[in-house]
Amino acid sequence: MAYEVTLITGDGVGPDLAAAARQCVDATGVKINWDVQEAGLDVMERCGTPLPDAVMESIRRTRCTLKAPITTPVGTGFRSINVHLRQTLGLYACLRPCKHYPGVRTFFGETPVDLIIVRENTEDLYAGIEFEAGKPETGELIDYLNKISPKRQIKSGREETGVSIKPISVSGTERIVRFAFEYARDNGRKKVTAVHKANIMKHSDGLFLATARKVAEEFSNSNIEFEDRIVDNMCMQLVQKPELYDVLVLPNLYGDIISDLAAGLVGGLGMAPGANIGPDGAVFEATHGSAPKYKGMNKVNPTALILSGMLMLRYLKETEASNRLEQAVAAVIAEGKEVTYDMKPNRDDPTAVGTREMAEAICRKL
């Protein structure tokens, strides 16, 4: 059986990483018909858009995409392609495993960190409902908010205050918490922790927590423990005793932040794969960005996107191939010979290899 998969090559270091991940997935023996598509800054210069219609058509057709990093300008320019894809395609669940592999340099190398971050992808502040300071509609909104909530006055100077709205729904929370429990059940996990700030944001995070508790009751006979943590305390807990945690389920913004923190525990974003999953398909991508300063240099660590390919194989029910790919990655890292500069004890180590050479080493292990 052959699978149709969209491969988005991205920009910056994206093309190097896409080639490495494709090579490793192919080396498992699983038959993939790749539909290669371009998106990002380079495409925007040629086509006037970073996400051409052909890319979206391919993603919708194959329902399975491996995407290399794409640059999002800070503060100006087009809105994040990643956010657009998640919201447009209904990819409500962001799955980000953070697992320590022996041989990776980290302050937590002696700690058995093996976390699954389950992040809600479509709501919260990332819904993008914003009002710019200085705009008439922003002033009208502030005046209205001050009128209905006089005890919580917002500074209403028209040039002074920008506003973002944080929507969290019962239905959105139910499906992401249920996803977390089902993932835990299907993968032999023992505990789900809901992360929130319900002590302060009682009607948004409070709703998230109350809904999570109701969903947890549905799984009361599954031997999966449920607990909750306030997000700032969760950050401290992960740094002090990450081995106590298993599956974390979080609203969108906290999930983004905590997944980077957890990646830091296991060696950095170069070790952090990701999956965005919805009812009609999935997009697999590394957690890190496009690192444009390294474009075309064959230098950066390909592990995160290769492990994203591993998650893709697991999604396609190619479990044996997925396990072999992860084992091959782990073996190359443990040997520490054919790895990129960031995985060497000394970053100036002349024995460090490039992106392509590390991928070839993983293929040989396969």
For every residue of 128-152, DSSP letters joined together read: --EE-TT-HHHHHHHHHHHHH-TTS
Name the domain boundary from 118, 143, 164: 164
Question: Does 143 share its domain with 204?
Answer: no
Q: Given 232, 241, 337, 349, which residue is catalytic?
A: 232
> What is the amino acid identity at position 344?
K
Question: Does 208 share its domain with 248?
Answer: yes
Question: Does 221 share its domain with 254?
Answer: yes
CATH number at residue 256: 3.40.50
Q: What is the dihedral of CA 290, 294, 300, 305, to 10 degrees?
A: 20
Question: Do the domain assignments include residue 293?
Answer: yes
Residue 280 annotated in active site: no
CATH number at residue 363: 3.40.718.10
Residue 228 annotated in active site: no
Question: Does 174 share its domain with 156?
Answer: no
Q: Given 197, 245, 254, 365, which residue is catalytic?
A: 197
Q: Given 16, 42, 124, 256, which residue is catalytic?
A: 256
Question: Does 86 share its domain with 221?
Answer: no
Question: Do the domain assignments include residue 276?
Answer: yes
Q: What is the pLDDT of residue 321?
A: 98
Q: What is the pLDDT of residue 73?
A: 57
Segments of the chain scoring below 70 in pLDDT? 73-79, 156-158
Q: What is the pLDDT of residue 77?
A: 55
Question: Do the domain assignments include residue 346?
Answer: yes
Rg (CA), the chain: 21
Question: Does 193 share its domain with 336?
Answer: no
Q: What is the pLDDT of residue 79?
A: 61
Q: Given 126, 183, 245, 254, which residue is catalytic?
A: 126
Question: Does 258 share its domain with 276?
Answer: no
Question: Does 141 share its domain with 280?
Answer: no
Give the start-end residues of each E strand in 43-113: 64-67, 93-99
Number of domains in the chain: 3
Residue 26 annotated in active site: no
Question: Does 159 share its domain with 202?
Answer: no
Structure tokens at 229: 């943590």
Question: Do the domain assignments include residue 98?
Answer: no
Question: Do the domain assignments include residue 138?
Answer: yes
Name the domain boundary from 265, 281, 316: 265
Question: Does 58 share its domain with 46?
Answer: yes
Q: What is the pLDDT of residue 276?
A: 97
Question: Does 204 share its domain with 259?
Answer: yes
Question: Do the domain assignments include residue 311?
Answer: yes
Name the domain boundary from 210, 240, 265: 265
The continuous run of DSSP H or E covering 227 comes out as strand 225-230
The β-bridge partners of 120 are 93
Domain range enclosing 144:
130-164
Question: Do the domain assignments include residue 244?
Answer: yes
Task: Find the angle CA(65)-CA(71)-CA(72) to the nearest 5 degrees.
Answer: 105
Question: Do the domain assignments include residue 99?
Answer: no
Residue 92 annotated in active site: no
Question: Does 225 share its domain with 113?
Answer: yes
